[in-house]
């Protein structure tokens, strides 16, 4: 069961979303995805992965997620990407092309990936022995390498201090000093005699200090609003045009959060919007704050309780709508209150 939340990691260029896989209501693996994505199961021998493919504006990313949370990035390219996948000797083998006409072969085994360039020219790069681990981030070691790579220090579970190199943009890690992070690392080589242990991806969202799952959030950049406190145990899917998100659980709870400029285009007032959004409701409560341009309304629709909140104004209205069965009002009330408190406009 997938969940989607906002993601803008420094390691893969702006991607846009975290994709989290959920089991029994808890996330167990995650990766970054572009706007258009799909998940499928792949198997080779005793290896089993969720294969995640995503794309946007010619950019492509392919990732494998295991049942144990292992994340392996097969490729990240603006080129043709994946050409073929097959099984060889109990391992997964991928053939792909980058944006500069180079062909590559990636062999995936247990907790490792080795990418082999199609030519032997110096300058071809490959990853080897990628792995994902939980480590405490200790901070920068203060010794940059050729003004390009910066050393980051981590403490492993057995107490060792590990130094990994990362580019300039990895300084965004600083706020996470002293916390336990999921990091992916491996050996990056540039031709004979170069390379070393290097950061490839850092995923602070899945786990935090103590191993507890951190709460995901949803950000809508098109209409500049966010949900910082998401409902529990819900599947989440963004709309194709990026105007909002839909969330549902198996108990009858549903949430719709979206933006629209239709009221502005039709020159409708806040009262017009309230009347339209509450149409068909047996209204039990409403409040309008004209000074701050928002309103709330709640009521009954058949066997459901409906709660609406709207931030109304230029350039758009941002609307949150939640509904759930009347007989589960006591169970869902705290969740609804939490979501409403986390419904915000960007500053």
- Rounded to the nearest angstrom, the gap between the alpha carbon of residue 36 and the centroid of all alpha carbons in its chain is 13
Q: What whole-number distance in Å separates Cα of residue 68 and Cα of residue 153?
A: 25
Q: Given 3-state DSSP classes, what are the helix, strand and coil percentages for the chain, each rounded to the nearest 5?
A: 10, 55, 35
Q: What structural domains does the chain harbor?
A: 2-203 (no CATH), 218-345 (3.40.1000.10)
Q: What is the pLDDT of residue 293?
A: 92
Candidates 127, 41, 117; CA nearest to 85 is 41
Q: In what order do the strands lie in the sheet with 2-7?
A: 2-7, 16-23, 26-33
pLDDT digits (tens, 9 = 90+) for 211-247: 333 345 787 878 888 888 888 778 878 776 778 899 9
Please name which of 133, 169, 125, 131 lies closest in space to residue 149, comparing C-alpha atoms.
Answer: 169
CA atoms within 13 Å, Cβ hemisphere of 332: 25
User: What's residue 178's pLDDT?
Assistant: 84
pLDDT digits (tens, 9 = 90+) for 273-307: 999 999 999 999 999 998 889 999 999 999 999 99
- Contact by Cβ (8 Å): 150, 175: no
The secondary structure of 209-241 as a DSSP string is TTSPBPPP-EEETTTTEEESSPPSS-EEEE-TT
Give the whole-angstrom CA distance, residue 110 versus residue 98.
25
Least confident of 134-143, 255-264, 282-291: 134-143
Residue 287 vs residues 124, 278, 283: alpha-carbon distances, Å: 63, 12, 11
Whether the per-residue pLDDT at 187 is higher than 50: the answer is yes
In three-state secondary structure terms, 255 is strand
pLDDT of 180 strictly over 50: yes
Average pLDDT for the chain: 78
What is the band of 123 on the pLDDT scale with cuts at 50, 70, 90? very low
Q: Rounded CA gap, 236 and 209, in Å?
A: 25
Weakest-pLDDT range from 18-22, 36-40, 85-89, 250-254: 18-22
Please enumerate in sequence order all residues whose Cβ is within 8 A of that of 300, keeping only pairs 6 or more positions apart, or say none: 281, 282, 284, 306, 326
Read off the pLDDT of residues 2-50 as tens digits, 9 standing for 90 and up.
444 445 444 445 566 777 777 776 667 777 788 788 888 888 888 888 8
Model confidence at 200, pLDDT cuts 50, 70, 90, reads low
Ordered strands of the 36-44 beta sheet: 36-44, 47-56, 59-66, 71-77
* Residue 77 pLDDT level (bands cut at 50, 70, 90): confident
């Amino acid at each position: 069961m997938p969940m989607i939340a906002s993601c803008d990691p420094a390691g893969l260029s702006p991607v846009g979303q975290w994709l989290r896989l959920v089991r029994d209501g808890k996330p167990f693996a995650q990766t970054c995805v572009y706007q258009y994505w799909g998940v499928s199961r792949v198997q080779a021998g005793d290896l089993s992965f969720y294969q995640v493919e995503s794309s946007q504006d010619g950019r492509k990313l392919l990732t494998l997620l295991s049942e144990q949370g292992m994340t392996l990035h097969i490729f990240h390219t603006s080129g043709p990407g994946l050409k073929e996948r097959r099984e060889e000797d109990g391992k997964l083998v991928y053939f792909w092309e980058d944006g500069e006409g180079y062909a590559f072969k990636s062999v995936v085994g247990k907790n490792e990936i080795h990418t082999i360039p199609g030519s032997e020219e110096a300058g071809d790069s490959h990853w080897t022995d990628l792995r994902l681990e939980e480590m405490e981030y200790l901070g920068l070691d203060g010794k940059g390498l050729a003004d390009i790579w910066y050393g980051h220090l981590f403490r492993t579970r057995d107490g060792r201090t590990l130094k990994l190199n990362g580019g300039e943009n990895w300084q965004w890690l600083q706020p996470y000093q002293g916390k336990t992070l999921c990091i992916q690392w491996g050996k990056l080589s540039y031709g004979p005699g170069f390379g070393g242990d290097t950061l490839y991806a850092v995923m602070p969202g899945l786990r935090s200090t103590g191993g507890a799952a951190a709460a995901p959030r949803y950000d809508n950049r098109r209409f500049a609003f966010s949900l910082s406190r998401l409902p529990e145990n819900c599947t989440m899917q963004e709309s194709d045009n990026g105007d909002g998100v839909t969330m549902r659980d198996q108990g009858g709870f549903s949430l719709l959060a979206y933006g629209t400029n239709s009221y502005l285009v039709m020159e409708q007032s806040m009262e017009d919007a309230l009347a339209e959004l509450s149409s068909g409701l047996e209204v039990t409560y409403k409040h309008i704050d004209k000074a701050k341009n928002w309103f709330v309304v709640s009521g009954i629709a058949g066997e459901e309780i409906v709660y609406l909140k709207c931030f109304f104004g230029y350039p758009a209205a941002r609307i949150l709508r939640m509904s759930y069965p009347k007989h589960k009002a006591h169970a869902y009330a705290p969740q609804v209150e939490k979501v409403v408190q986390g419904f915000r406009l960007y500053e």
